[in-house]
Structures are given as C-alpha cells and as structure tokens.
C-alpha cells in the first residue's frame, strides 16, 4: 500500500535554506520537510568559516556590495546582491534568536593569521574575521564549526514546531506538475518520494513546493561536499520546465586531503596563510611561477596552478607543507587538521600533506527571482540549488550561508502572502511500478557513476578547452541514454536517482561551458583566455514548457 500525504508546503531539503523557510512560514500552514538522509544534513553542517554580514561600524553596506560584485566577475545581479547584503544584520540576528551561538568578541583567542588580521579593530557583539575578497572584517562565526552551530539550532527549532513534520531517508524523485498531469498552466503540486526505509514510493502533494537540495559538486571526482550533493533539485526543476543559469561556474577549493579513505576533508586556506608551501612530488615549490602572491594568490588561481602541474606531470596529487613551522605552532593553529591527518598516518608536523583540488560550490542553479520563485508556478528554489544572481561568476567566501537565510526567508514571505489565494493541489496518480523489475546489474550504476565523475574532472574541471568540452559532451550523451534506459526498466534506488540527476546536470554544466566563449571568474578556458566586453549570463531553457503565469 503506497502512502500519500497532503500539506500546505513541501520543502525538499533540510540544510540552512530549507530549515529557514520552514521556520519563517506562518504557523497556520502545515509543512513537510523531507531529507534524503537525516535532519542535519547536506553541506550546511560542514561549513567552517562563517557568514558574511555588515556588523562593524567601520564597515558599510556599499563596501560589501562592491566586494561581492568584484568577486563575481561583473556577472552578479546587483539587485540580488543588494537584497542579500542589506538583510545581513537581520539574518544574523534571526539566527541568533533561533539559538545559534556565534563567537563573541570577548571570547576570541588570538587568531594570528594573515587571512584574519588580528590587529584590525572590531566593534559590536560578535567577533568578526576577514576572508579572501572581503575588504572589511565581516565574517561572523561559531568557532571553526559555524555550519554545525547553524544546523544544530535550526534543527532543534524545527523539531519543536507543531506545524512542521519531518521525514528522514526520503529521496524526492520528481516533481509533479500540471503539465505532467495534462492540466492547464504549469503549477507544481508535489513530488514522488522514495522512502528508503521500505523502498516504497510515496506521494506528497502540496499547495507550494520549495526546492532546497543543495549543490552539484558530486558531479566531480574530487569534492569537499558530503555525499548527496548530487544536484537532485536542479535536475528535477529542469525536467519540470525551469530555466537554469550560469551552470559553468563551479568553484574548486585548492586543497582537499588526498587519501583513498579520507572523504572530502578540506585543508583550510589558513594553512597557506600561515606559511604552508605547495610542493611538487619532488619537493620543489612552484607557485612563484604562477602568481607573485605565490601561496596567497586567490583560490581560483591556486587551484588552476595545482591542476596545471598535476596534468603536466600526470600526478594524482601534490603536497602542502607546514612541517617547517614549530610543532607547537602547528598544533595550536591546526589541531583538527593535525588530528584528522594522524588518523591516516600523516603527521603534518613532520611531513607534507598530500592534497588535491576539489569541487566545492555550485554558483549557478535554478533561475529564481527576488522572491525565490522559479519558472513553474508555486515552485520555489533556495540556497545552493538556486541561482539568485548573487554570486555571478565566482562566489565570495561566506556569502552562501547568508544567501540561504535571506532567500529562504523571501520564499517564506511570498508563500505566507499568497497562502490563501492558492487552491489545494489536485489529485495525482500513485507511482506506477508495474512496468519495472528489480535491477540485476547494479554494476552499471557503479561504473557509470565513476566514469561520469572522472570525465567531468578531467574535461570540465578547473581548466577547460573546446576539445575537452566536446569530448565530455559526447560521453555525457552516451551515458544519458544508457541511464534513461536503465531508469525505464528497473525499480528506483537512491544510487540510480542520484546518477540520473548527475548525468542530467553534468550535461547542463557542459552545455553552459561550451556556450561561454571567454574566461571569466571560475570558468577558465585555454581557447578563450580573455574576458568579453559585455558580460552575459548563460541561461538554458528546457524545451516545450510554458513559463509561470503568476
Ligand atoms: C566543507 C565546506 C565548507 C563550507 N564553508 C562555508 C562557509 O564557511 N560559509 C558559507 O557561507 N558557506 C560555506 N560553505 C557552503 C555552504 O555550506 C553551502 O552552500 C550551504 O550550506 C548550502 O545550504 P543548502 O541549504 O542550500 O543545502 P545543503 O545544506 O547542502 O542541504 C541540502 C539538503 O537537501 C537534501 N536533499 C538533497 N537532495 C534531496 C532529494 N532528492 N530528496 C530529499 N532531500 C534531498 C539533503 O539531504 C540536505 O538535507 C561550505 C561548504 C562546504 C562543503
């Protein structure tokens, strides 16, 4: 017997974005939040650095806006930037009111780092750090585990909320729209959801649906993101008629620990800030050949240099060395990195750390307006899954959690405002499994998953060329067909669903990268190394869908 649920609002994803919306909705609205793993999940709990907001009296809104526009390579939507930055203080206050314990000025240890200048004065209640691209101290944090603090508090509040039901181990498969039901207009009315506890597909209907499923970094072989960052929401939205924007801008973190058993462990850029040197396998340093700032060059330049040297030497990793510093210094500044590396028999006080760059953040996503509305009626997208225009061609550090809160609240405000105008969702058929069987060849999924992430890394990674992109396009087309055939014949599983979405979105990334005939922000191609005079967004439109009629 299949389960069927009806709510006012269905929120797919329980990271910072989804939980913010859930908590800002009117208490009279019934809300379902689903997560494909646990309540505290996604990239949110992994965020370390903090959240950018103008709080110091030495800082100002225009400066934060200007820094964001510069980082974004002239491709940000200025209105979205202003909306985000102007709501910075309010968002931090709201998070604090939900119980997030940000580090206060008076409790701060001396962080003697070149990336966070301790001599700069602070003002206000919270300790503020300074990160790459920010011209002022404006990053609020909860020690070095900001994401955990945010996720922890928001989860607690959601569990207390009487109007919110939470469903774990639920994987949204596809959205249900009027179009798919052959009804007029294109309204979203719910989703089919795989319950991983009993492998049955459930029907969730709702008057409003919010996608908060995070980014697409799992499309790449190496990533700092947790499992599950498989762009499910982007793929579902695209299949339902939503446009996507700027999918070619994938941010790579230069230094992730390289070890077969160390999944996604990030080596913070503070290690380079404190004098860590990047080394080739023969122990030679190389950053001076790429940028006069050497190890302190911006993230994308360092990532590109490492990628270049790895490709030149055919190396699968390089090294980051801080062992020339006194052990006391290393232990005081990097206790977590020291402890984690020791688990893999790497003593960072004595030897260099094997590193590889890793896909870190998806700047593009589902195109939304200032109220987080997509092209499909009553369908919203928020957080890393969306493209608000804030990041343009490159995300500035610590702007992303702020965007989750600002646009999560904007979605809730809009739903609250229209709550009484929108009729209940119409009936929809239950999931039909009569034509499919259990898979007898799961190796197809494992093989294609590996192949996809490998060619995305090699051909659509940090440094691109037309030839590499064409190779990737050819391969993704073959995989797409193979996975569609598989999907049509076998029962769904989480792995199959993630692979289907990854192939879908990998195709969108490749097509967007092929369209951009210039190097801008995070998109760097050897065939067009210069910027074009007039920057344009790359917007892809699914065919045969009508856009919204709000
Ligand atoms: C290591 C690391 C460090 C970072 N540091 C910072 C930082 O210091 N400051 C900053 O601003 N940003 C930082 N970021 C980026 C930031 O953490 C993310 O952009 C942000 O947390 C995204 O939040 P979200 O709510 O959009 O998605 P996520 O937090 O990724 O949550 C996605 C949710 O969707 C669910 N989900 C996904 N697909 C489905 C599906 N099909 N069905 C049901 N549920 C689904 C997941 O289970 C999860 O609950 C960092 C990211 C990483 C990985």
What is the pLDDT, as a whole number, of residue 114? 38
Looking from the CA of residue 264, the nearest atom of ligand 1 is 1
Q: Answer for the pair 279, 321: CB distance below 8 angstroms, yes or no.
A: yes
Higher pLDDT pick, 19 / 123: 19
User: What is the pLDDT at residue 550?
Assistant: 35
Active-site residue, selected from the candidate residues 187, 207, 299, 464: 299
Task: Determine the pLDDT at residue 105.
Answer: 82
CA atoms within 13 A on the CB side of 4: 11
Q: How far is CA 314 from the centre of its chain?
A: 29
- The gap from C-alpha 429 to its chain's centroid, in whole angstroms, comes to 32
Ligand 1 atom with minimal separation from the 38 CA: 47
Q: Kindly report which listed range (201-210, 334-343, 438-447, 488-497) carries the lowest average pLDDT score.
A: 438-447
User: What share of the chain in percent tops pLDDT 70?
Assistant: 95
Q: Are 523 and 351 in contact (CB under 8 A)?
A: no
- The residue whose CB lies within 8 Å of the most ligand 1 atoms, and thus the one to mutate among 211, 268, 400, 403, is 400
Nearest CA to ligand 1 atom 4: 47
Residue of the CA atom closest to atom 53 of ligand 1? 225
What is the DSSP pairing of strand 4-12 with strand 200-211? parallel
CA distance 272 to 314: 24
Q: What pLDDT is attached to residue 10?
A: 98
- When pLDDT is cut at 50, 70 and 90, the band that residue 301 belongs to is confident
Q: State the DSSP H helix or E strand holding residue 444, giving kind and residue range, or none if neither.
A: helix 443-459
Name the residue with higher pLDDT: 434 or 202.
202
**How far lies 139's CA from each of 33, 100, 152, in Å?**
29, 15, 19
Question: Please, which residues bridge with residue 10 across strands?
Answer: 32, 209
pLDDT digits (tens, 9 = 90+) for 191-246: 999 999 999 999 999 999 999 999 999 999 999 999 999 999 999 999 999 999 99
Residue 119 confidence (pLDDT): 38
| Rounded-to-integer distance, Cα 12 and Cα 85, Å | 26
Which of 12, 13, 410 most suits a substitution to test ligand 1, by most atoms within 8 Å of the C-beta? 13
The per-residue pLDDT for 124 is 61
Residue closest via CA to ligand 1's atom 33 equals: 13
By percentage, how much of the chain surpasses pLDDT 90?
79
For ligand 1, which residues put their CB under 6 angstroms from it?
Answer: 12-18, 34-37, 41-44, 46-51, 146-147, 170-172, 212-214, 224-225, 228, 232, 266, 361, 383-385, 398, 400-401, 404
Q: What is the mean pLDDT of the chain?
A: 92
Task: Answer with the residue of higher pLDDT: 48 or 469.
Answer: 469
Atom of ligand 1 nearest to the CA of 383: 26
* Residue with CA nearest ligand 1 atom 10: 398
| Region 96-106 average pLDDT | 92
pLDDT reading at 509 higher than 90: yes
Sheet holding 539-540, edge to edge: 386-387, 365-367, 244-245, 539-540
Centroid of ligand 1 to alpha carbon of 43 (angstroms): 3
Reported as a single tens digit per residue, the pLDDT across 109-161 is 444 343 444 334 444 689 888 877 888 889 999 987 899 999 999 999 999 99
Q: Tell me: pLDDT of 422 over 80.
A: yes
Task: State the closest ligand 1 atom to the C-alpha of 39, by its place in the atom list counted from 1.
Answer: 49
Positive or negative, the CA dihedral 164, 165, 166, 169 is negative
Q: Are 195 and 169 in contact (CB under 8 A)?
A: yes
Which residue of 147, 256, 495 sits with most ligand 1 atoms within 8 Å of its CB, as the best mutation to test the pocket? 147
Which among 327-331, 433-437, 504-508 has the top mean pLDDT? 504-508
Best probe residue, ligand 1, of 19, 47, 265 (max atoms within 8 Å of C-beta) = 47
Among 74-88, 93-107, 162-176, which is the least confidently predicted range? 93-107
Q: How far is the CA of 426 from the centre of ligand 1 (A)?
A: 32
Question: What is the mean pLDDT of the segment spanning 397-426?
Answer: 96
Q: Which residues are within 8 A (CB) of 312 and not within 5 positions of it... i.e. 6 or more apart? A: none
CA–CA dist 177, 189 (Å, integer):
6
d(CA 210, CA 190): 10
Structure tokens at 277: 């040197």
Q: Residue 543 — pLDDT band, cuts 50, 70, 90?
A: confident
| CA-only gyration radius of the chain, Å | 23
Give exposure, 241-270, as e/b (b: 16+ Cβ within 10 Å).
bbbbbbbbbbbbbbbbbbbeeeebbbbbbb
Mean per-residue pLDDT, 301-314: 92
Q: Which residue has the higher pLDDT, 271 or 348?
A: 348
Structure confidence at residue 91 (pLDDT): 98
Does residue 549 have a pLDDT over 60?
Answer: no
**pLDDT higher than 50, residue 548:** no
Specify the ligand 1 atom closest to the Cα of 398. 11
- Three-state DSSP state, 386: strand
**Catalytic residue at 299?**
yes
Whether the pLDDT of residue 512 is over 50: the answer is yes
Structure tokens at 233: 């929401």
């Amino acid at each position: 017997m299949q389960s069927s649920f009806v709510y006012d609002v269905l929120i797919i994803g329980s990271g910072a974005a989804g939980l913010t919306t859930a908590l800002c909705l009117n208490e009279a609205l019934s809300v379902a939040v689903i997560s494909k793993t646990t309540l505290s999940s996604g990239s949110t709990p992994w965020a370390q650095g903090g959240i950018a907001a103008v709080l110091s009296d030495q800082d100002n809104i225009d400066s934060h806006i200007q820094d964001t526009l510069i980082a974004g390579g002239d491709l940000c939507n200025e209105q979205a930037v202003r909306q985000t930055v102007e709501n910075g203080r309010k968002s931090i206050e709201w998070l604090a009111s939900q119980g997030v314990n940000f580090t206060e000025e008076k409790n701060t240890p001396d962080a003697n780092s070149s990336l966070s200048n301790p001599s700069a004065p602070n003002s206000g209640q919270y300790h503020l750090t300074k990160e790459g691209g920010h011209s002022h101290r404006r990053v609020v944090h909860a020690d070095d585990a900001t994401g955990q603090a945010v996720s922890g508090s928001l989860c607690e509040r959601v569990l207390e909320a009487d109007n919110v039901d939470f469903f774990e181990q639920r994987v949204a498969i596809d959205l249900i729209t009027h179009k798919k039901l052959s009804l007029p207009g294109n309204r979203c009315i719910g989703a089919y959801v795989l319950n991983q506890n009993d492998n049955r597909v459930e029907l969730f209907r709702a008057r409003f649906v919010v996608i908060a499923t995070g980014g697409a970094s799992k499309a790449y072989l190496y990533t700092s993101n947790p499992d599950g960052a498989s762009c499910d929401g982007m793929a579902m939205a695209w299949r339902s008629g939503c446009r996507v924007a700027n999918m070619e801008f994938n941010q790579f973190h230069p230094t992730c620990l390289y070890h077969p058993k160390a999944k996604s462990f990030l080596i913070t850029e503070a290690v380079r800030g404190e004098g860590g040197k990047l080394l080739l396998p023969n122990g030679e340093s190389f950053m001076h050949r790429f940028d006069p700032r050497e190890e302190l060059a911006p993230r994308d330049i360092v990532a590109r240099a490492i990628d270049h040297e790895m490709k030149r030497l055919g190396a699968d990793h390089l090294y980051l060395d801080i062992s020339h510093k006194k052990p006391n210094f290393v232990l005081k500044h990097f206790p977590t990195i020291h402890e984690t590396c020791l688990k893999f028999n790497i003593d960072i006080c004595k030897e260099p750390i094997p590193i590889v760059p890793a896909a870190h953040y998806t700047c593009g996503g589902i195109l939304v307006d200032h109220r987080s509305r997509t092209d499909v009626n009553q369908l919203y997208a928020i957080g890393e899954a969306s493209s608000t225009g804030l990041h343009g061609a490159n995300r500035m550090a610590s702007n992303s959690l702020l965007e989750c809160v600002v646009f999560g609240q904007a979605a809730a405000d809009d739903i609250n405002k229209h709550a009484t105008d929108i009729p209940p969702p119409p009936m929809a058929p239950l999931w039909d499994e009569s034509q499919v069987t259990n898979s007898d060849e799961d190796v197809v999924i494992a093989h294609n998953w590996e192949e996809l992430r490998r060619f995305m890394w090699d051909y659509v990674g940090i440094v691109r060329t037309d030839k590499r992109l064409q190779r990737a396009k050819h391969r993704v087309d073959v995989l797409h067909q193979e996975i569609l055939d598989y999907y049509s014949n076998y029962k769904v599983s989480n792995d199959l669903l993630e692979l289907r979405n990854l192939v879908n979105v990998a195709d969108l990334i490749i097509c967007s990268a092929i369209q951009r005939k210039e190097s801008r922000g995070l998109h760097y191609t050897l065939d067009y190394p210069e910027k074009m005079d007039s920057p344009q967004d790359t917007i892809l439109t699914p065919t045969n869908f009508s856009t919204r009629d709000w």
